[in-house]
């Protein structure tokens, strides 16, 4: 049962691949809270994924777009404004992929062409989305833009490899574009730094299961689930957080403030 926190709001949700995707839960919660949305993912992901099911369930149209392609992003936001009947109130960036991790390249032996691709998909796509929204003036005043991040942007988690730098870049884009969007039309831009979560992207990281358990024990509240992350995104899209911008917000059950936990020493 929703509380109409997003009643009358229009949004675009990227990155829902299957039921495990964080974006999948965010889409469900946004609609439950009264929003109307469009869904988007890379054309290739639409072939493998189950997005049609989510689209049916949420009454949303799917607009394919490779988030590294400016023309496709322009079309995505123009069509979304048209379909939803006006400028957007919120946008979720929930996109990440590392070519070097996928191909099991060690951090001390990275392929730089693959690294460029990783940055483009995982971080520069966020700037591209915002630049497209900016140029089309597609965001409503007091709108909210959120991207999902991970604490490897601040601390070293060796197996996360070049995704650490991707997330550092992503968070920096949120601060820099947050300035421009804030001063022009009071739009806020934040990143949510989420706990390890069992999804396609998450499980691609080496040793994910061991790490998931470690983080769960280290966090006083345990790992934050994707459902809880969806709740937090709803809050950030709602009018209850109008003055929060240019922040990286930890949604991690307390993990980021811990030094040592007796639960680990066991
Ligand atoms: N799972 C975790 O442990 C975890 C933790 C913190 C942050 N995150 C972040 O959450 C976000 C969502 O990931 P997830 O864990 O839900 O996994 P996921 O695999 O379900 O989602 C990643 C999405 O990125 C999409 N994508 C990849 N390349 C794309 C492109 N070129 N254009 C458009 N879309 C593209 C994929 O199709 C997929 O839907 C990512 O940014 C991820 O880094 C995940």
Q: What is the CATH number of the domain that holds 226?
A: 3.40.50.720
Nearest to 92 by CA among 204, 6, 179: 6
Q: Which of these ranges, 67-76, 127-136, 175-184, 195-204, has the smallest mean pLDDT?
A: 195-204
Task: Write down the pLDDT at residue 177.
Answer: 98
Task: Write down the pLDDT at residue 265.
Answer: 86
Cα(49)–Cα(41) distance, integer angstroms: 9
User: Is 1 part of a structural domain of the chain?
Assistant: no
To test ligand 1's pocket by mutation, which of 94, 101, 128, 171 has the most ligand atoms within 8 angstroms of CB?
94
Cα(159)–Cα(62) distance, integer angstroms: 34
Residue whose CA lies nearest to ligand 1 atom number 39: 15
Task: Write down the pLDDT at residue 31.
Answer: 98
pLDDT > 80? residue 49: no
How does DSSP classify residue 196? P
Q: Which of these ranges, 19-28, 128-137, 154-163, 202-211, has the smallest mean pLDDT?
A: 202-211
User: Is 164 part of a structural domain of the chain?
Assistant: yes
Ligand 1 centroid vs 80 CA: distance in angstroms?
Answer: 21
Ligand 1 centroid vs 266 CA: distance in angstroms?
Answer: 33
Lining residues, ligand 1, CB within 6 Å: 14-15, 17, 21-23, 41-42, 45, 66-68, 94-97, 121, 148-150, 194, 196-197, 199-202
Give the other-Cβ count within 10 Å of 104's Cβ. 8
To test ligand 1's pocket by mutation, which of 21, 71, 201 has the most ligand atoms within 8 angstroms of CB?
201
Edge-to-edge strand order for the sheet containing 10-14? 61-62, 36-40, 10-14, 88-93, 139-149, 188-194, 248-251
More confident residue, 81 or 159: 81
Cβ–Cβ < 8 Å for 224, 212 = no
Ligand 1 centroid vs 85 CA: distance in angstroms?
Answer: 28
pLDDT > 80? residue 9: yes
User: Is 255 part of a structural domain of the chain?
Assistant: yes
Owning domain of residue 107: 10-265
For residue 47, name the pLDDT band (cuts at 50, 70, 90).
confident
User: Is 5 part of a structural domain of the chain?
Assistant: no
Residue whose CA lies nearest to ligand 1 atom number 5: 196
Q: Look at residue 186 and give its three-state secondary structure.
A: coil
Residue whose CA lies nearest to ligand 1 atom number 36: 15
User: Is 181 part of a structural domain of the chain?
Assistant: yes
Task: Write down the pLDDT at residue 206.
Answer: 80
φ/ψ of residue 90, rounded to 5: -155, 155
pLDDT > 90? residue 123: yes
pLDDT > 90? residue 230: yes
Cβ–Cβ < 8 Å for 161, 96 = no
Task: Write down the pLDDT at residue 203.
Answer: 81
Angle (deg, nearest 10), helices 226-237 and 22-32: 50
Number of the ligand 1 atom closest to the C-alpha atom of 95: 24
Ligand 1 centroid vs 244 CA: distance in angstroms?
Answer: 24
pLDDT > 90? residue 184: yes
Partnered with residue 149 across adjacent β-strands are 193
User: Is 3 part of a structural domain of the chain?
Assistant: no
Q: What is the mean pLDDT of residues 208-233?
A: 96
User: Is 52 part of a structural domain of the chain?
Assistant: yes
- Tally of domains within the chain: 1
Cα(193)–Cα(145) distance, integer angstroms: 14
Cα(227)–Cα(8) distance, integer angstroms: 22
Number of the ligand 1 atom closest to the C-alpha atom of 23: 16
User: Is 130 part of a structural domain of the chain?
Assistant: yes
pLDDT > 90? residue 207: no
């Amino acid at each position: 049962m929703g509380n109409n926190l997003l009643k009358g709001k229009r949004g675009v949700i990227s990155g829902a691949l299957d039921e495990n995707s964080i974006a999948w839960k965010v889409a469900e919660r946004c609609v439950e809270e009264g929003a109307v949305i469009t869904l988007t993912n890379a054309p290739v992901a639409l072939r493998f994924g189950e997005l049609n099911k989510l689209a049916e369930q949420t009454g949303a149209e799917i607009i394919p777009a490779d988030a590294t392609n400016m023309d496709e992003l322009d079309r995505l936001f123009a069509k979304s404004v048209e379909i939803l009947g006006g400028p957007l109130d919120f946008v979720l960036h929930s996109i990440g992929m590392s070519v070097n991790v996928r191909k099991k390249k060690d951090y001390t032996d990275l392929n730089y062409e693959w690294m460029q691709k990783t940055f483009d998909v995982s971080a520069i796509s966020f700037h591209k989305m915002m630049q497209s929204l900016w140029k089309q003036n597609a965001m409503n005043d007091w709108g909210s833009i959120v991207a999902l991040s991970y604490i490897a942007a601040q601390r070293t988690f060796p197996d996360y490899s070049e995704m650490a730098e991707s997330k550092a870049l992503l968070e920096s884009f949120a601060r820099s574009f947050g300035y421009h969007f804030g001063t022009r039309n009071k739009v806020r831009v934040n990143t949510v730094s989420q706990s390890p979560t069992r999804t396609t992207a998450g499980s691609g990281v080496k040793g994910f299961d061991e790490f998931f358990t470690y983080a769960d024990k280290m966090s006083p509240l345990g790992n934050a689930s994707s459902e809880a992350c969806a709740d937090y995104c709803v809050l950030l899209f709602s009018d209850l957080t109008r003055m929060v911008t240019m922040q990286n917000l930890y949604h991690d059950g307390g993990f980021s403030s811990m030094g040592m936990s007796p639960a680990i020493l066991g």
